[in-house]
Chains A and B, each alone.
Chain A
Amino acid sequence: MAELGAGSLSLGDPAFNYQEHELNERLKRLYPAVNEEETPLPRSWSPKDKYSYIGLSQNNLRVHYKGHGKNHKDAASVRATHPIPAACGIYYFEVKIVSKGRDGYMGIGLSAQGVNMNRLPGWDKHSYGYHGDDGHSFCSSGTGQPYGPTFTTGDVIGCCVNLINNTCFYTKNGISLGVAFTDLPPNLYPTVGLQTPGEIVDANFGQQPFVFDIEDYMSEWRAKIHGMIARFPIGERLGEWQSVLQNMVSSYLVHHGYCATATAFARATETIIQEEQTSIKNRQRIQKLVLAGRVGEAIDATQHLYPGLLEHNPNLLFMLKCRQFVEMVNGTDSEVRCLTIRSPKSQDSYPGSPSLSPRHGASNTHLHTGADSPTCSNGVTPPNKSKSHSGTGSSSIKYPSVSSSASSSTSSSPSSVNYSESNSSDSTKSQPHSANSTQETSLSLNFRRNQTHVTRSSNHDSEMEIEAEHYTNGVVEGSSARIMNGTYKHEEILQPDDNSIDEGCTNGRQLCGGNQAATERMIHFGRELQALNEQLGREYGKNATHKKMLQDAFSLLAYSDPWNCPVGQQLDPTQRESLCSALNSAILESQNLPKQPPLMLALGQATECVQLMARVRSGSCSFARVDNFLH
C-alpha cells in the first residue's frame, strides 16, 4: 500500500503494477456483472474533466486545490474518468482527507456529466455532495441539510451508490452514516470538490482495501435479491409451471438423443415426446459417430437417413469434410482406420461420456455484446473454461478456431515444412519463415517433394466476419473469437490429459496411425476437399471462414508432431462437439423440430434479460446472474 507522502507512482514502477493488479482483482470481485468493454469502471480522476483550480497527481488519484480560495466562486471539482455502470448493482469508492487545508471546504459526492466544475458537488442540478466543514448533505441545492458529522484531516469518507434502489449513503472511517440521497439519476460520476488552499484528498477506487466492509453490504443485497427470486409468487399457476418444467427437461433429453432416459422421464411424468423413437435413435447414432471421430461414416449415415440434408447445407458438409480430414490426421476416421491394424475397439467410442450437455463452469461469462455480434440477440454464451468446450445446442456454423492463438505464430510456428511421402515419421526440417508471408501462398498444397508454406493468419477482421455471419436465435457457442484469442484455452488444451484424448492418440501418435496407405488416402482426400472449397467458392462466392478452416486443417501437416503444434488443438476430441451439435440441429431443423432445446433457449433468454437489465440501468442485475443458479 502506498503510504501517505510516498513518491508518486508511475507506470513500470513495480509498486504501481502491484496496485494495478490489486485494482483489477478487486473490481472483478466487486462488480462481476460489469462488462468493462461496454461500461468501463472509474479508476482515477479525469485530467480532462476538472476545473483549472484542481491539480492531480499520483496517477490521478490525488487531488489538490491550487486556486485562490477567496470565496465559493473559487470552488473547483473533478470527476472520475467514467460514470458508474448500473451493472455494479452496488458501487463504492473512498476518499481520504490528506489535508483539510485552510478551511476544509471539501465536498465528496456524485455528479452527472456536464455539471459545472467551478462548484462543489451538490450545489447544482444532478449533483450530490457531503461537505466536510458542516457535515451537511447537498442534494442539487445551494443549501444543505444536516446529514452527518463533519470530517477533516485523516478521515476516510466513503460514498456508496445503490443502483438497485437508486440511493446513496456515505461512510466515515468505516461507519455507515445512513441514506443521504434517494431517487438518484443514472450515469453519475464520482466527484470531489475543494475550495480553499492546502486541501488535498486521495481517492481509492479499489486500489486498496476499503475501510468500510462494502462486500458485507453487498452480501445483504445479494441475499435479498436471491430471496426475491426464490420466493417469486407462482400462485395458481403451480401446475402449469410444473408441466412447463417437465417439458423442458424432456425436450432437452430428446434433443441430445438420450432416448432411454427421455422415454423413462416421459413415462414417469406422463408427458408426450414429439419426435419418433427411431428418429431419436438415428440422431443419436450419427452423433456418436461424429464424437468418435468417425466423420466419414457420419456423413454417409446422414446422407442415407436424411437425403438432401447435406446438399442443402453445403457449409455444414464442408465443415464435416474438414473435420473428416482432421480425423484422418488423427487416425480415427474410418477411411484411414480400416487401413491401420489398430483394434477398432479403442476408437469406437468417444472418450468419456457422450454427454453433450454444456458445462456451466463457474468462470466468468464473456458475453456477446450487441456491438460485437448483433445477431445473437437471444443468445447465451456458456462459460468455457472447462476443457469440454461445448457447443451444444449451437446451431451456428461455428468455426473451431484454434488458430487464433496465432499471436504466438512468430515464435512457435515453423511454417515452412518439408514433407516427404516416404518418410512420414521422420523429423521434418523446419526453416524460419517470415511472419509476413501472405496468406495466399498457404493454399497451395503440394505434398510430393514440395515445400508447403503454411501460414496461419490471425486476421481479426475475418473473425469478426465469422461472428457476424454466425446467426443464432438461442444459444451461442461459448468460444467467441475474443475468448479463443485468449491464451488460457490454448494452454489448457495442450496439456496432455489422458482421460480426454483418444486412447490411440496418447502414446507414439503418428500421422494417420502411421500407415502409409492411409496417409496417401488422406492426401487424396485433402485434394478433394480443396476442390470442394473451390467449387463452393465458385457457386456461393468466396468464404473466408472456409478458407481459414482449410488452412488450419492443412497446417497440421506442417508439423512433425501435429498433436503438439500450435494448431494441434484441432485434433482434440472435444473439438468434435460443436460440429456434432451443429449437425444435430440441422437434422432437427430438417424434421421441423426446434433446433434448440427450449431449456437452452430459456437459459439464453434469462442471460440476455440480465444483460438487458444492465443496459436499462436496473442495478439488481448484478445480483441476479444466471450462473449463480447453475450448479
Chain B
Amino acid sequence: KGQMLKPPLMCAFSSEVTATSRHYVDRLFDPDPQKVLQGVIDMKNAVIGNNKQKANLIVLGAVPRLLYLLQQSSSSLELRTECAVVLGSLAMGTENNIKSLVDCHIIPALLQGLLCPELIFIEVCLRCLRTVFISPVTPVQLLYTDPTVIPHLMSLLSRSQRTQEYITQIFSHCCKTPEHQTVLFNHGAIQNIAPLLISPSYKVRMQALKCFSVLAYENTQVSMTLVNVLVDGELLSQVFVRMMQRDQPIEMQLTAAKCLTYMCRAGAIRTDDSCVVLKTLPCLVRMCSKEHLLEERVEGAETLAYLMEPDVELQRIASTTDHLVAMLADYFKYPSSVSAITDIKRVGHYDPIILSLDHDLKHAHELRQAAFKLYASLGSNDEDIRKKITETENMMDRIVSGLSESSIKVRLAAVRCLHSLSRSVQQLRTSFHDHAVWRPLMKLLQNAPDEVLVMASSTLCNLLLEFSPSKEPILESGVIELLCSLTQSDSPALRVNGIWALMNMAFQAEQKVKVEIVRSLGTEQLFRLLSDPDSNVLMKTLGLLRNLLSTRPHIDQIMSSHGKQIMQAVTLILEAEHSIEVKEQTLCILANIADGNTAKELIMTNDDMLQKIKYYMGHSNVKLQLAATFCISNLIWNEEDGSQERQDKLREMGFVDILHKLTQASDPNLCDRAKTAMQQYLA
C-alpha cells in the first residue's frame, strides 16, 4: 500500500525506486515468454496503490511495451490479460498517468482487444477502458471515432455483469452532447440497457440508471421513447419510482429522480402526473435536507430547480413541501465562517488541512449557487412565494453579498435569484430598496461575462420601473452610458435589455433625463436600433421613442431637433413588413407627435404621412384603426392654434367621411374615439 512519505525522505528514496522500476521494465523484454509473464505479474503487484511506482514505470516506457504485448497475437491469453490488468492499475493513478496512457493510444488498443472471444480478457480491457474514460482528462470523443465500437459494446452487454457494469459506466461518462445521445440511441441503447435496471447487481442497476439520466437530459426523442419502455412488464417510469423509494440508497433515489425530471422537462411526462408531484418532487426536496451529503444537496437543489422552472403549480407545491424555503437557508451556513478559512489559508499552502478546506470552500460555493438557483426557480411566478423567500432570514443580505462573490457561478445564480424576485412590485418597493440591491448590481454590470450581464441588465430593467424607489439612485449613478453601450452589444438579449431599461427609464421622466438619453444614445444608434433584426429590440426602441415623446413641451423639443429623422423612421416602419404590434406602436408615436404644438406641423405638411394615417383608419385591425384615429383626433383638436386650418385640410382630404363611418363601428372604443373627433368639427 502506498505510504505517505514526507518530502525530504521521498527525495532520498527516489533514485532507488527508479532503479527497481527499471528492472521491472527490463523484464518485459526478456526473450523467454514465461519470464515476461512473471515480470508482468511482479509489476502488477508492485504498482498496486503505489502512485510513485506507476509514474516511474510510465516514464521508463513500460506502457508501449505492455500495449505491444497485449496486442501481439503470439502472446498467451494469460500474458495479455495480465498486461491489461497492469495498464488498468496504472490508469488508477494520477490524471497525468491517464494522459500518458491516452497519448500512447491505449484506447484503440483496448477497444481492439474487445474483439477477442475470451470473456476474461474482454472484462479486464473494459475495466481499464472504464477507468480511462471516467477521467475528466480523457477526450470522450475517442469512444466515437470508430463507428463499429458502440454497436460492439452494445453486443457485449449480454456477456456478464462485469461487462454490463463497465460498459454502462463508460456510456454514462461519455454521453456529453446531443450527438452522443443520438449515436447511443440509434444503436439501441434503450432496449439494451433497460433490462439492466432489474439486474441482481446493485452496481449494474446503478450504472444503467445513470445512463438513462444522461440519455434523457434535454432529449425529447429519448424521453418520449423511454415512457413507453417496459421492463419485465412494468413501465419504466414505475421502475424509476420504485428506485426512488426511501429505503433505497440515496444515490439511486437521486439519479432516478433526475431521470424522471428530464423526462418531464422533455415533455414526455406531464407536470401534474402523480409520479412527478407525489414522488419526484418530494424526493428532490428530501435531497436538500441537511442530513445528506453536500454533493447530494447540491444536485438535489439543482435538479429540483430545473424540474419546476416552467410550472407554477410545481413551484407552489415545492414551496410548501418540508419547509423547503427555510431548509435552503442552511445552504448558506456552510462553512460556518469564511473569514476563519481565509485566515488559515495565509499560513501555508501544502498542509492537507488547507487542502480539505479548499475542498470545503468549493462546496460552499456549490451549495450557495444551488440555493440561489432553486430560490430563483421557486420565485419565478408566484408573488406569495417571493414574499416567503425575501422573508427568509437574511435573504436579501445573502443575495447582495452573493452578487459580489469571487465565483462566477455564485454571482450568476445570485443575480438570477434577484431577477426572479424583482418581478414583484411589492419587493421592488420594499426589500429591494431597503437593501440597496442596485448598488452591487450596478457594480456587477461594469465588468462581467455576457451571461451575467444578461441577467443583471434584465434585473436592472425591473429596478428602473417607474414605481421602483431604486430608480432615482440608479439614475444618479450614471447608468445611462452603460445602458447605451449595452444596446451596441452583439448579443440580442443584451441589446433588448439595454433599450428596455432605457424605455423604462424614459417613462414619465423629467426633461433632462430624456435629453440625456437621446444625447447619450445618439440618433444614429437610435435609428440603427429601429432597423434591428430582432423584433424585440425594435419594439422596445419604439417604446422608448413613445416614452420620450410624451408631454407637449418634450414632444416639441425633441421633434424640433430630431423631427426629420424620426418622421423618416416612422415612414419606413409603416411601409415595411412588420407585425401589427410594431405598426400600432409606431402609430402611437405618430399620435404623440400630433399632440405637440409645433410638432404637429411635421405631419400636417407631410401629405404622404396623412395618406398613411387615412389608410390605417380603414385597416381591418381595430388596434391600428384606433391608433390612427387617435392621431387624427390630436391633429384636429380645438382650442389649439391653427386647429381650424387643420380641420379644413383634413376635411378636404376626406377624413370626415371616414370618421363618420367609424362612428358606426362595432368596436365601442373606436366608435367613441371617432365621435370625440367628430365633435371637434361641430364645436
Contact = CB atoms under 8 A, between A and B. Distances in A.
A177 B320 contact: yes
Contacts of B323: 177-179
A223 B247 contact: yes
A217 B317 CA distance: 19
Interface string B238-264: 000000011100000000000000000
Interface stretch (A23-31, A168-176, A194-202, A301-309): A168-176
Contacts of A223: 246-247
A174 B247 contact: no
A220 B246 contact: yes
A257 interface: no
B245 A219 contact: yes
Interface in A157-177: 169, 172, 174-177
Interface in B318-358: 320-323, 327
Contacts of A178: 321-323, 327
A588 B282 CA distance: 59
Nearest to B319: A149
B278 interface: yes
A217 B322 contact: no
Q: A-B pairs with the 8 shortest C-beta distances?
A: A220-B246, A178-B323, A223-B247, A219-B247, A178-B322, A149-B320, A174-B278, A216-B246
Contact of B321 (A176, A179, A216, A217): A176
A220 B253 CA distance: 12
A223 B245 CA distance: 11
Nearest to B321: A175
A590 B317 CA distance: 71
Contacts of B317: 175
Identify whether the interface residues of A are mostly helix, strand, loop, or mixed: mixed
B361 to A, nearest CB: 30
B393 to A, nearest CB: 13
A177 B278 contact: no
A179 B323 CA distance: 8
Nearest to B391: A146
B249 to A, nearest CB: 10
A85 interface: no
29 contacts: A149-B320, A169-B322, A174-B277, A174-B278, A175-B277, A175-B278, A175-B281, A175-B282, A175-B317, A175-B321, A176-B282, A176-B322, A177-B320, A177-B322, A177-B323, A178-B321, A178-B322, A179-B323, A213-B279, A216-B245, A216-B246, A217-B246, A219-B245, A219-B246, A219-B247, A220-B246, A220-B247, A222-B247, A223-B246
Interface string A175-191: 11111000000000000
Interface string B640-671: 00000000000000000000000000000000
A323 B257 CA distance: 63
A222 B246 CA distance: 10
A566 interface: no
B222 to A, nearest CB: 28
Interface string B174-213: 0000000000000000000000000000000000000000
Contacts of B247: 219-220, 222-223
A177 B246 contact: no
Size bracket, chain B contacts: 10 to 19
Interface of B: 245-247, 277-279, 281-282, 317, 320-323, 327
Interface of A: 148-149, 169, 172, 174-179, 213, 216-217, 219-220, 222-223
A198 to B, nearest CB: 26
A176 B317 CA distance: 10
Nearest to B323: A178
Contacts of A149: 320
Given A217-B246, A219-B246, A223-B247, A148 B278 contact: no
Contacts of B277: 174-175
Given A175-B278, A175-B282, A213-B278, A148 B246 contact: no
B281 to A, nearest CB: 8
Contacts of A222: 247
Contacts of B322: 169, 176-178
Given A148-B320, A175-B320, A220-B246, 10 more contacts: A175-B321, A176-B282, A177-B323, A178-B322, A213-B278, A216-B246, A219-B245, A219-B246, A220-B247, A223-B246
A53 B422 CA distance: 49
B385 to A, nearest CB: 11
B280 to A, nearest CB: 12
A172 B320 contact: yes
Contacts of A213: 278-279
Contacts of A148: 320
Contacts of A172: 320
B15 to A, nearest CB: 43
Contacts of B281: 175
A149 B279 CA distance: 20
Contacts of B246: 216-217, 219-220, 223
B177 to A, nearest CB: 36
A177 B245 contact: no
A219 B321 CA distance: 20
Contacts of A219: 245-247
B30 to A, nearest CB: 46
Nearest to B327: A178
Contacts of A216: 245-246
Nearest to A212: B278
Q: Which of B317, B320, B327 is the most central at the interface, judged by chain A CB atoms within 10 Å of its CB?
A: B320
A172 B282 CA distance: 12
Nearest to B278: A174
A576 to B, nearest CB: 42
A549 to B, nearest CB: 49
Nearest to B279: A213
A172 B320 CA distance: 9
A146 to B, nearest CB: 9
Which of A179, A220, A222 is packed against the most chain B CB atoms within 10 Å?
A: A220
B319 to A, nearest CB: 9
A229 to B, nearest CB: 14
Contacts of B245: 216, 219
Contacts of B278: 174-175, 213
Residue among B247, B278, B321, B322 with max Cβ neighbours from chain A (10 Å): B247
A98 B281 CA distance: 27
A148 B281 CA distance: 17
A290 to B, nearest CB: 44
Contacts of A174: 277-278
B120 to A, nearest CB: 34
A149 B277 CA distance: 16
A380 to B, nearest CB: 27
A392 B512 CA distance: 102
A546 B84 CA distance: 78
A156 to B, nearest CB: 12
Nearest to B324: A178
Nearest to B246: A220
Contacts of B327: 178
A177 B281 CA distance: 13
Nearest to A179: B323
A230 to B, nearest CB: 13
A238 to B, nearest CB: 22
Contacts of A175: 277-278, 281-282, 317, 320-321
A22 B278 CA distance: 23
Contacts of B321: 175-178
Nearest to A217: B246
A393 to B, nearest CB: 34
A216 B244 CA distance: 10
B348 to A, nearest CB: 36
B46 to A, nearest CB: 33
A228 to B, nearest CB: 14
A175 B281 CA distance: 9
B520 to A, nearest CB: 47
Among A174, A177, A178, the most chain B Cβ lie within 10 Å of the Cβ of: A178
Nearest to A224: B247
Nearest to B384: A149
Contacts of A179: 323
